Amino acid sequence: MFGPMRIADNIPTSWCEPWKIKTIEHIHLASAEERRSALEIAGWNTFLLPSRRVYIDLLTDSGTNAMSDVQWAAIMTGDEAYAGSKDFERLEEVVQKVYGYEHLIPTHQGRGAEHIQSQIMIKKGQIVPGNMYFTTTKFHQEHAGGEFEDVIVDEAFDPHSEFEFKGNVDLAKLDRIVQRVGPQGIAYVSLETNVNMCGGQPISMANARELKAYCSKLGIKVMLDATRAVENCYFINTKEAGYEATSISAILAELCSYTDGCTISGKKDCLVNIGGFLALRDDHLAQMARELVVAFEGLHTYGGMAGRDMGAMAVGIVESQDFEYIRARVEQVGYLGKRLERFGVPVVKPFGGHAIYLNVRDILPHMPQEQYPAQRIAAELYLESGVRSMERGIVSAGRDHDGNEYKPDLELVRLTIPRRVYTQSHLDYVSEACARVCQRAESIRGLKMVYEPGSLRFFQARFESLN
Ligand code: PLI
């Protein structure tokens, strides 16, 4: 017999996902020997592992989203006309309404948009100030003859700082560049939302507004990397005073209003597996972009995307604005962060919007950066558990013009959460595996790079173990 039940006081109200699972994909944990062999064949680079040898794939949140039934329906009804697809019209209307830019230039993915943007907006020798580099973005800026200069706030480089808007631009740093090269020496300011390379950290609305005011006076354009703008808007809603009662769509519209255009990798916020776009306000720039896109991507009404992919993206953009969705998305990432903290695993704080970043300098304090500590931890996590993660440290940073390795302050491993794909129990498994790797950190040795591609080396570099 049961006695009278006692209901605890202060029962919390948990968030939960506003969807249920309709289709599943089987995953399989390879044995320890299989994992060791796969990693050696992959040259200790998690990018080179075959997916069939990966158990839980936290390499990236890019193109790894699960689509909704409504998106799949859009796939089935896609209009594959070479010119003027109805899905282009549908996407154009959604982009104009949600992001507020007049002109849409679709591209095959984000870097296609970065390429076009850099070619039409950068003159050789111009500086592109930005709130921390992103690998492909910086590549295209340099490829177009520009030079990236970092103007992010100092807190971004401190994994222990709990500053809530570590993505913010430091206007004093920007002003120093303007004093040095003049407004004509600047191509545009490159403003990323939820800054990937420092831990998925947001910018505040106040900062975007001040940046716009400063740049407008000087005639400098502000170009948004809106790849994770919706996730950034959730942080504005939850952390920035005055936005608690504002909808995600209204926050996004205001954020974009402080910019002159954007590039987007649709493979993240937009909840699809492929696609991207450049969006612009200026008619002349849009015309230049349309002329280039036909040469590099595809006709200006598909830009490398299938009609069905544009349709699914239009639906995904609308779905991404739902508060219950975005709350579950960002809070799930925070759930992993809290679990790791409970096990004493060093992580970047505050928790990012799309990923949790292990702070490898604190995990392997004995290892010099030249021995690629974060690359090694990503490899060890795979060996331990079949979980795939990504290095975001010295390997990702690459080399300067003189061939010297950049030595970034942040030496991180990114555990990136695909949208609507994994459950909390998957993340429990991941956090326990990270804790076990950290427990044996003292015995972990470094890596030697034995093959180095000329650019974006992290994708294909190969390593050997030093022990
Ligand atoms: O992978 P793309 O070409 O669709 O997008 C390039 C790109 C641009 N900006 C930002 C902030 C990104 O994060 C980004 C791609 N990120 C990847 C692939 C990632 O794993 O984070």
Ligand 1 pocket, CB under 6 A: 60, 62, 109-111, 134, 136-137, 192, 196, 225, 227, 265, 267, 276
For β-strands 462-465 and 447-451, DSSP reports them as antiparallel
User: What CATH superfamily classification does 32-54+323-465 receive?
Assistant: Aspartate Aminotransferase, domain 1 (3.90.1150.10)
Residue spans in the chain of domains classed CATH 3.90.1150.10: 32-54+323-465
Q: In whole angstroms, what is the distance from residue 244 CA to residue 242 CA?
A: 6
pTM: 0.95
Tabulate helix, strand, coil % of the chain (nearest 5): 45, 15, 40
Residue 319 structure tokens: 């779905």
Q: Is there a catalytic annotation at residue 282?
A: no
Q: Is there a catalytic annotation at residue 225?
A: yes
Q: DSSP assignment of 383-450, as one string?
A: HHHSEE-EEESHHHH-B-TTSPBP--S--EEEEE--TTT--HHHHHHHHHHHHHHHHTGGG---EEEE
Q: Is there a catalytic annotation at residue 458?
A: yes
Fold of 69-320: Aspartate Aminotransferase; domain 2 (3.40.640)
Which residue CA neighbors atom 4 of ligand 1 most closely?
A: 110
Residues 228, 230, 171: CA angle, nearest 5 degrees: 70
Residue spans in the chain of domains classed CATH 3.40.640.10: 69-320
59, 61, 134, 223: residue to mutate for ligand 1 pocket, most atoms within 8 A of CB: 134
Active-site residue identified among 35, 268, 327, 361? 268
Cβ(186)–Cβ(128) below 8 Å: yes
Ligand 1 center from residue 264 Cα (angstroms): 8
Q: Is there a catalytic annotation at residue 82?
A: yes
Number of Cβ within 10 Å of residue 382's Cβ equals 27
pLDDT string in tens for the chain (467-residue length): 456 677 888 888 888 999 999 999 999 999 999 999 999 999 999 999 999 999 999 999 999 999 999 999 999 999 999 999 999 999 999 999 999 999 999 999 999 999 999 999 999 999 999 999 999 999 999 999 999 999 999 999 999 999 999 999 999 999 999 999 999 999 999 999 999 999 999 999 999 999 999 999 999 999 999 999 999 999 999 999 999 999 999 999 999 999 999 999 999 999 999 999 999 999 999 999 999 999 999 999 999 999 999 999 999 999 999 999 999 999 999 999 999 999 999 999 999 999 999 999 999 999 999 999 999 999 999 999 999 999 999 999 999 989 999 999 999 999 999 999 999 999 999 999 999 999 999 999 999 999 999 999 999 999 999 97
Q: What is the pLDDT of residue 401?
A: 87
Q: Which helix (H) or strand (E) holds 138?
A: helix 135-143
Which residue CA neighbors atom 16 of ligand 1 most closely?
A: 62
Active-site residue identified among 82, 343, 406, 459? 82
**Atom number of ligand 1 nearest to Cα 113:** 3
Ligand 1 center from residue 266 Cα (angstroms): 9
